[in-house]
Chain A
Amino acid sequence: MRVARSESVLTHAVLIVAALVAAFPLASVIVTSLGGDGGASGAGSVGFGNYVEAWTQGGFGSALLSSAVVAITVVVVTAAVACLAGYALAHMRVPGGRILLGLLLIGLVLPYEVTVLPLYQMLAGWGLVDTYGALILPQVGLSVPLGVFWMRSFFASVPTELLEAARIDGAGRFRILRSVLMPVAMPAVATLATILFLFTWNEFLLALVLVPQNQAVQTAPLSLSFFSGAQHGAQPDVTAAAAVLVALPIVVAYVVLQRRLITGLTEGAVK
């Protein structure tokens, strides 16, 4: 295409500015976290002292572990039930299937605010508040709409001939799912898992409401929120170090998985 070279240069310049703006806050928090050295040795020094202080005071080891336990469980359970339901909704005549899909569609845009209060009371009644169960069970429920839509649209895209060939070979419905569909569905499942992991890892309101007291099961964002609140407001460099600790696992995973995640989200969203 013939476009003036000056226009190309200008557009690139604007894009670089846009990218710098997008990256600046994370860069800024990293810079802050490396300065001051825990407030112990005064300003000007550079080091990991803030990290040591944040790690020992904030219990972020346990928080990161909690986040991992919750996110992995939610991903595995949601993916499993979503594959089953997505398969049925794509390739079987499910009674009431259309109504179900309509309900799930509403579930996709639902604000968590409308569920948290009854959820708290229900889980309190079951004695589950302040346990992993209180984080995992509702999160699976809230992830089901996305998971089912995702897998249904993938399974619907598989050529019917493939399923029929298997059927003629005498494979039952579950066998077709396990042996024919799942092997080809792995990339779709992997993208779904990445998205769900990200959402679950970052979820804040549910954690704030459902595990308010038990530090042992609090997730990383919740711990960071408590840590940066009351007592550490006066130590921005330690808080910054804590923020980097919380962001680090997800940023590392993002660097590895960004292509899959972005392509998946942009294509899946429009579907």
Chain B
Amino acid sequence: MAVTVAEREAVGAAPRVRRPAASRPSWSSLLYVAPALAFFAVFVVVPIVQSVRISFYDWDGISVATPAGLSNYAAVFSDPDLRQALGHSLVLLVFYAALPVLIGLLLAGAMSRIRIHGLTTLRAVLFLPQVLSSVVVAVAWRGILADDGPVNAVLRAVGLGGLARTWLGDFGTALPSIGLIGTWVEYGLCMVLFLAGIATIDRSLYEAARLDGAGALREFTAITLPALRPQISIALILTITFALRNFDLIWNTTRGGPGTSTTVPSVFVYQDAFQDRALGQASALAVVLTVLILVVVGIVQLALRERPERRAGKGVRA
């Protein structure tokens, strides 16, 4: 230790500076960053710039592109099909983000009050849906929701056979069914995130709350909920991003059907780009989708960022 202090003084850095070596810009450090930067620039940044550029043209990918001004963007918000797809995305936000976070909070709140037996196994099973490929998930749920699947079998067994239907093939139930698959994919992730957060809460806070006569609800709002702020923020960011960019699950269950009842922007991006050869339209939609995701993520981060002094105050008030 003495040596490091001596070294710091020798370089002339203030004693409190944590990284003396970082005082001057080091151009050679770019050599270390270059390989990662090259991959990122060529395969992420350049394509995005290209997408933005293509979005201002009418182009079928083969003949000469003609400038289209903002018409592709106007179509995103005026074309009834695309507007409907954006609407579906909003519905899916409830199923993919709001429900899993609420379920996760509810269960995590209950778990914070007791000692859980078999926690490691429980966590591993709850996290399983995150590990499976969405194509596997789609195949599994297509079977479960099929005409002769277990859901209908249960309904028929309890005398509700009238409700039985091909859930993913029915105009009224296809979108909520996909939504519930999304809920299933995400609630375990939320629970596992919140459990990790709860593990960092000082147990004596709960003891103190109970001595003060706080009930389960009070305990949850005063201690658990404020402490989980970072986990709630990350859970919302992950689930909202998943909801808005979701392609795999829908493509492998309904392809947007029946009719247009489960279309989402990403399905149109794929179809416009690779099936209908409307490259400008596809790009504009992709750009809007990206901006939408960045804005929503930004809002969540701002709304839930750590504010220690406010947080303490809130805890007391609640």
Contact = CB atoms under 8 A, between A and B. Distances in A.
Contact of B114 (A8, A89, A222, A225): A8
Interface in A70-123: 77, 80-82, 84-85, 87-89, 91-95, 97, 100, 103-104, 106-107, 109-122
Interface in B9-56: 18-27, 29-30, 32-33, 35-37, 39-40, 42-48, 50-51, 54
B128 interface: yes
B67 interface: no
A262 B286 contact: no
A24 B142 CA distance: 13
A121 B207 CA distance: 62
A165 B21 CA distance: 13
Interface of B: 1, 3-4, 7, 18-27, 29-30, 32-33, 35-37, 39-40, 42-48, 50-51, 54, 61, 103, 107, 110-111, 113-117, 120, 122-129, 131-144, 146, 150, 184, 187-188, 191-193, 195-197, 203, 206-207, 210, 230-231, 234, 237-238, 241, 244-245, 247-248, 251-252, 265-266, 269-270, 273-274, 279, 282-283, 286-287, 289-290, 293-294, 297
Main secondary structure of the interface of A (DSSP, over half): helix
Contact of A93 (B25, B184, B195): B25
A95 B31 CA distance: 11
Nearest to B19: A160
A3 B4 contact: no
Interface string A255-271: 10011011100110110
Given A111-B289, A121-B61, 17 more contacts: A11-B114, A15-B122, A19-B122, A25-B184, A81-B36, A85-B35, A103-B40, A109-B237, A110-B293, A111-B266, A117-B54, A137-B42, A164-B7, A204-B252, A221-B133, A254-B124, A254-B128
A141 B44 CA distance: 6
Interface string A119-160: 111100000000000000110111011011000000000001
Interface secondary structure of B, over-half rule: helix
B54 A91 contact: no
B43 A141 contact: yes
8 contacts: A1-B206, A32-B143, A109-B293, A114-B47, A117-B286, A122-B50, A221-B135, A251-B131
